[in-house]
Amino acid sequence: MKNLLLILLISLTACNQTFENKNEADLKFPYEPTYQKEWKTGSQENILIVQNLHKDIMDGNFKKAYSHFSEDVTVWHGDGTTTEGLADFKKLYDPVFKSANIRDYSVGVNISVVSEEGHEWVLLWDTASMDGVNGEETHDYMESIRIENGKIIAMNQFTKPVKD
């Protein structure tokens, strides 16, 4: 009983604490963003589009996966190259999707944000394993995917191999 009273007393004391929040107007950032300064939370529906894209790839339903893209999508790849248009994206990714045996996909983070100009991006961090030239490879990915009218219009990818 004494322990219960002690826990209750500590809990009530902790709940009564006030914390000083630094006024954001007092923050002086050394760099000014070049794209957008203010962001707000975006829609969960756009996160669902991105998750369904990945699920369709994992399920081997590539036609359905490609249906999430606009015909004039732009993709900036992790190696610095760019692909313009869904037709060229399919040419590049069809062989990869069909032969890589992508598996063990997991999502670390999905965040949907909207810029002050109304650009909506889904930011994600994820991991997947696949068959590579030297056997099984596991990669961490960071992707930013811009969605407009329910379709992916831009995707920026970064990847790095996971080392044991």
Question: Look-up: residue for tokens 């909207």?
Answer: 114
| Model confidence, pTM | 0.76
Name the phi and psi angles at 153, rounded to 5: -110, -15
Length of the chain: 164
Please choose, from the candidates 141, 89, 148, 73, the residue with its C-alpha nearest in 3D space to the C-alpha of residue 114. 148
Structure tokens given for 23: 């006024």
Which overall architecture, per CATH, does domain 39-161 show? Roll (3.10)
Pairing outcome for strands 151-161 and 103-115: unpaired
Q: What pLDDT sits at residue 16?
A: 52
Asked if residue 152 has pLDDT above 50, the reply is yes
pLDDT > 50? residue 4:
no
Across 36-61, average pLDDT:
90
Q: Name the pLDDT band for 72 (thresholds 50, 70, 90).
A: very high
84-142 pLDDT, tens digit per residue, is 999 999 999 888 888 878 888 889 899 999 998 899 999 999 888 887 777 777 877 89
pLDDT in tens, 28-42: 888 888 777 778 899
Cβ atoms of 46 and 147 within 8 Å: the answer is yes
What average pLDDT does range 2-17 have in this prediction?
48
Chain centroid offset of residue 146 CA: 10
Phi, psi of 113 (to 5 degrees): -130, 155
pLDDT band at 20; cut points 50, 70, 90? low
pLDDT exceeds cutoff 80 at 143: yes
